[in-house]
Structure 1
Amino acid sequence: MTLKLIIGNKAYSSWSMRGWLACKQSGLHFEELTVPLYNDGWDERKREEDIAPSSGKVPILWDGEAVIWDSLAILEYLADKVGRERFWPKDEVARGMARSMAAEMHSGFLPLRRACPMNLRKVYEGVTISDETRNDALRILGLWAEARARFGNEGPYLFGTYSAADIMYAPIVTRFVTYGFTLPGFAEAYVDAVLAHPWMEEWYQAAQNEEWVIEKFEIEPSK
């Protein structure tokens, strides 16, 4: 049976990006259904059967009778299905750090996520960054630096080869670009590597082609 992934607008939905990248990483064939968020029919669609399990949130993965919502849960479900080595580093020390980084991304960095909503169709200059947001960015850069220094010798990604950690931090990469964060050289190289990944290029192109606009995510930040 073909997997079905329900996602939100590709220009704005960071958690949808993570779920979609997890499906791509699994290597399994999946059907993709985009549900435009927050437009006139959104409240009605949230009551529909396909969206109900997550109380109206996306992404949602359907696999026969299994219904999985929440991006990290989707990632772990797929890792169990196809083999965890496809998603996580083989070295147990690296794997422990990768899981910790993924969990921290899943539950943390709220000031950055709120102040810098994902918008793949915008690039701003001279944005005023609050201390809270800057502290989040510095914490993320510190995690990236440690992962790259300790485990990144075999490739351009956080743990060398593409992994669940890169999936979880991919939307942060886009935020750093959209809001013009000044990054150290190693982070710029990592950002370039993530954006050059074929799956990210595919997602970006689809985001540019979307016809939907969510006005609350189009407000230019203060300078």
Structure 2
Amino acid sequence: MKLIIGNKAYSSWSLRGWLAAKQSGLHFDEIIVPLFADGWEERKREDDLAPSSGKVPTLWDGEAVVWDSLAIIDYLADKVGRDRFWPKNEVARGMARSMAAEMHAGYTALRREFPMNTRKTFHDVTISEETRKDAVRILQTWAEARSRFGKDGPYLFGTFSAADIMFAPVVTRFVTYGFTLPGFAESYAETIMAHPWMEEWYAAAAKEPWTIQRIEDAVT
């Protein structure tokens, strides 16, 4: 398998796909393409990215090509077993899938106002009412998952799952932009940030030579 991803400093969807590939336990080759760099329009039309029209992450498994992070999670779960990605309990699994889908389709204000940037931290940022509502909703779902299904470990459903994969980039945003979190959410964020795969991702992001200026200037 090979996984094509964008800049680790900025690409939240790439982080999800990469964590999913890690969670699968399968070997994969990692290919990084600097998003929006010179020649990007030509690069995204090359054979390996053309099926997704340049969307990352894109997973190739032989002749099979899968793009979109949630689709990659589902594809890999089919290969290695659903229980590696989703809670075994069907009630918990139903909630985990719903949270992942809501993250996939929603929280647009948070994502627009505070793009992922692993190499910066800000304090005392101004948060719009729309983004505040997104954050409150996210914290509500985290609280319910932890209280109902998190007794067997420090993650949303106890053990590390697809739900944590989907929300890991949100954790990075909360850290980057200095969100004030309630105690349980702060503990969860610390757990995610201390995960060895997250530490590996951050270390690689810190060494990248590329910048996307509009993201660097998102908060001044």
Residues of 2 paired with 1:102 and 1:131: CA distance? 23
**Cα deviations across residues 30-77 of structure 1 (Å, max 9, x unaligned)?**
000000000111111011011101111100000001000000000100
Residues of 2 paired with 1:130 and 1:220: CA distance? 14
Residues of 1 paired with 2:44 and 2:186: CA distance? 39
**Cα deviations across residues 160-215 of structure 1 (Å, max 9, x unaligned)?**
00000000000000000011100000000000000000000000100001111111
Residues of 1 paired with 2:60 and 2:185: CA distance? 35
Residues of 1 paired with 2:213 and 2:39: CA distance? 16
Figure out how many residues of one structure are paired with residues of the other and give that number: 220
What does residue range 121-136 of structure 1 map to in structure 2 within 5 Å? 121-136=119-134
1:189 maps to which residue?
A: 187
Residues of 2 paired with 1:56 and 1:23: CA distance? 19
1:26 maps to which residue?
A: 24
2:9 maps to which residue?
A: 11
Residues of 1 paired with 2:84 and 2:8: CA distance? 24
1:221, distance to aligned residue in structure 2 (A): 1.5
Residues of 1 paired with 2:198 and 2:107: CA distance? 22
Cα separation, partners in 2 of 1:40 and 1:127, compared to 1, 3 Å: same
Q: 2:115 touches 2:218 (CA, 8 Å); kept in 1?
A: no
- Are 1:106 and 2:104 an aligned pair? yes
Residues of 2 paired with 1:169 and 1:151: CA distance? 16
What does residue range 123-162 of structure 1 map to in structure 2 within 5 Å? 123-162=121-160
1:220, distance to aligned residue in structure 2 (A): 4.8
Alignment gaps of 5+ in structure 1:
none
- Are 1:41 and 2:39 an aligned pair? yes
Work out which of the residue numbers 111, 114, 117 in structure 2 matches 1:116: 114
Secondary structure at 1:47 match in 2: coil
Work out which of the residue numbers 192, 204, 207 in structure 1 matches 2:205: 207
1:68 maps to which residue?
A: 66
Secondary structure at 1:62 match in 2: strand
2:177 maps to which residue?
A: 179
TM-score (norm 1): 0.98
1:52 maps to which residue?
A: 50
Residues of 2 paired with 1:71 and 1:62: CA distance? 13
Residues of 2 paired with 1:197 and 1:168: CA distance? 14
Q: CA RMSD in A?
A: 0.6
The percent identity for this pair of structures is: 74
Residues of 2 paired with 1:209 and 1:79: CA distance? 31
Q: 2:122 touches 2:178 (CA, 8 Å); kept in 1?
A: yes
Residues of 2 paired with 1:67 and 1:132: CA distance? 36
TM-score (norm 2): 0.99
Alignment gaps of 5+ in structure 2:
none
Letter in 2 for 1:56: G
**Cα deviations across residues 69-123 of structure 1 (Å, max 9, x unaligned)?**
0000001000000000000000000000000000000000000000000000010
Runs ≥4 residues deviating over 4 A: none
- Are 1:163 and 2:161 an aligned pair? yes
1:198 maps to which residue?
A: 196
